[in-house]
Amino acid sequence: MSNLIVLGAQWGDEGKGKIVDLFSERFDIIARYQGGHNAGHTVYVGEQKYVLKLIPSGILRSGRVAVIGNGLVIDPVALMAEIEMLEELGVDVRGQLKISNRAHVIFPFHRMVERISEDSPEKAIGTTSRGIGPAYEDKIGRRGIRVADLLDRDNFKAHYTGNQQDKRKIAAAFGIPATDDDVLAKYAEIAEKMRPMVCDTAALFAAAIRAGKRIMLEGAQGTMLDVDHGTYPYVTSSSAASGGACTGTGIPPTKIHGVLGVSKAYITRVGGGPFPSEDLGERGEFIRKAGNEYGSVTGRPRRCGWFDVPLLRYTADVNGFDSLIITKLDVLDGLDQVPVCTGYKIDGKLVEEMPASQSALARIEPVFESLPGWSKPTAGITDFNKLPAEARGYLRFLEERTGVEIGCVSTGPERNQTMVVKGSRMEKLLGA
């Protein structure tokens, strides 16, 4: 019986949605543990494309239970739009989805106050402008409104109005116009639609574990966007790293049996912040085109760069990766040489640890090594031994330098364009 965490090893958009959807066949419950509709997980099932934002990718497998854990921040309007989109495509969302009564609620006033920092070029993080950060601020500030409070008809109005008035004062002080009208009636209506799906999801997990069911925990964002371990302050406001899976669900660490990291064969980032292996030249543009690297939530072009070994070693340490899934290997098809960032220097000296201060992060000089590209394409290959020798060499190089097994490789967006490496630890964890 293995309960696994599958999460992003870089700055998000590693292909978690595709991988979670693929693996979900082997699990009974698939749960999200943090974030909100800042996430965009694209999944192809045959010709059909789904972009999941709040709902775990496991919803696409009939009979699986999909859980929105207590660690998320939920925009009820976005949630209903996503439910309706999936229902139109024939997914039994109301039969499969459970929502934590302890998750926090995003209101329009959260987006309103997000503008205070995001409208200022000096303070902007380049967020998704979904109200995520301000909702987590309210959670930690102990003034948030949780799903259980939203469903509490007698007390919701007073709770909401007090909070809204405070936010309006703050917005007015910064010259931001109020944009949060018509909320009470709309939210009350959506609350009734949500009510049948809301429950104590920690109790649901405890009962499932007692019954021997298998749970997969789906990370959103990536470790370098984690509020503690990422490139602070250019991060999201939640705990995307593996530790967040316990606090964000109520599943204890003793009931988690493995952690799988998802990483692209290169790397991307959306929004501001340090990016040591970024390629601002033609080859960066090549990756953006070949990998279709445009944000699935905001449509922004993703910044592109080369696989970063020091970053991956760091995220492997803070997450405890048992095995890595390398996605989008096919995007590098056609390159003569594939650069890899194998070290960091600051002020001309090699550094072993991930720097913490903003100024040190900004001063990282990447050290590159170059590996030969492959003569034949990898797109769609599903057997490790059938990959061109140079592509296998590239993967072996990443494995050696990061010190983590590569247990799965993805060579295209579809479910069947994937291979689990025979005899790997990943195969055991998935099969157990």
> What amino acid positions are annotated as catalytic residues?
13, 41
When asked if residue 218 is in the footprint of ligand GDP (CB under 6 A), the reply is no
Nearest residue to 25 via CA among 1, 50, 49, 58 = 58
**CB nearer ligand IMO, residue 225 or residue 426:** 225
When asked if residue 13 is in the footprint of ligand IMO (CB under 6 A), the reply is yes
Stretch that binds ligand GDP, among 59-67, 128-136, 278-286, 411-419 (CB under 6 A): 411-419
Nearest residue to 221 via CA among 288, 132, 291, 282 = 132
Q: Which residue among 6, 10, 17, 70 contacts ligand GDP (CB under 6 A)? A: 17
**How many alpha carbons lie under 13 Å from residue 164 in its C-beta half-sphere?**
17
**Using CB under 5 A, which residues numbered 26 to 55 contact Mg ion?**
40
When asked if residue 328 is in the footprint of ligand GDP (CB under 6 A), the reply is yes
Q: Which residues have CB under 8 Å from 249's CB, separation 6+?
A: 31, 33, 67, 69, 70, 71, 201, 202, 205, 217
Residue pair 86/51 in contact (Cβ under 8 Å)? The answer is no
Q: Which residue among 220, 326, 329, 364 contacts ligand IMO (CB under 6 A)? A: 220
Which residue in the block uniquely carries the two structure tokens 């990898």? 378
For residue 232, the minimal CB distance to ligand IMO (Å) is 11
Residue pair 127/38 in contact (Cβ under 8 Å)? The answer is yes
Between vectors from CA 6 to CA 29 and to CA 340, what angle results, nearest 5°? Answer: 165
Residue pair 1/10 in contact (Cβ under 8 Å)? The answer is no
Size of the site for ligand GDP (CB under 6 A): 21
Residue pair 401/297 in contact (Cβ under 8 Å)? The answer is no
Which residue in the block uniquely carries the two structure tokens 């293995």? 2
**CB nearer ligand GDP, residue 79 or residue 262:** 262
When asked if residue 277 is in the footprint of ligand GDP (CB under 6 A), the reply is no
* Residue 125 interacting partner from ligand GDP, ligand IMO, Mg ion, none (CB closer than 5 to 8 Å by kind): ligand IMO
Size of the site for ligand IMO (CB under 6 A): 23
Q: Which residue among 40, 144, 248, 261 contacts ligand GDP (CB under 6 A)? A: 40
CA distance 52 to 64: 16
CA distance 26 to 36: 25
Stretch that binds ligand IMO, among 6-14, 146-154, 188-196, 283-291 (CB under 6 A): 6-14
When asked if residue 230 is in the footprint of ligand IMO (CB under 6 A), the reply is no
Nearest residue to 21 via CA among 3, 48, 1, 44 = 44
The SS3 assignment for 63 reads coil
**CB nearer ligand IMO, residue 75 or residue 209:** 75
Stretch that binds ligand IMO, among 82-90, 124-132, 244-252, 317-325 (CB under 6 A): 124-132
For residue 12, the minimal CB distance to Mg ion (Å) is 6
**CB nearer ligand GDP, residue 278 or residue 330:** 330
Q: Which residues have CB under 8 Å from 325's CB, separation 6+?
A: 6, 15, 19, 260, 261, 262, 263, 406, 407, 408, 409, 410, 426
Size of the site for Mg ion (CB under 5 A): 2
**Using CB under 6 A, which residues numbered 99 to 128 contact ligand GDP?**
none
Helix, strand, coil share of the chain (percent; to 5)? 40, 20, 40
Q: Which residue among 8, 13, 22, 98 contacts Mg ion (CB under 5 A)? A: 13
Residue nearest to ligand IMO (CB): 271
Residue pair 20/56 in contact (Cβ under 8 Å)? The answer is yes
* Residue 236 interacting partner from ligand GDP, ligand IMO, Mg ion, none (CB closer than 5 to 8 Å by kind): ligand IMO
Q: Which residues bind Mg ion (CB under 5 A)?
A: 13, 40
Q: Which residues bind ligand GDP (CB under 6 A)?
A: 8, 12-18, 40-42, 44, 296, 327-328, 330-331, 410-413
Q: Which residues bind ligand IMO (CB under 6 A)?
A: 8, 11-13, 38-41, 125-128, 130, 132-133, 220-222, 225, 236-237, 270-271
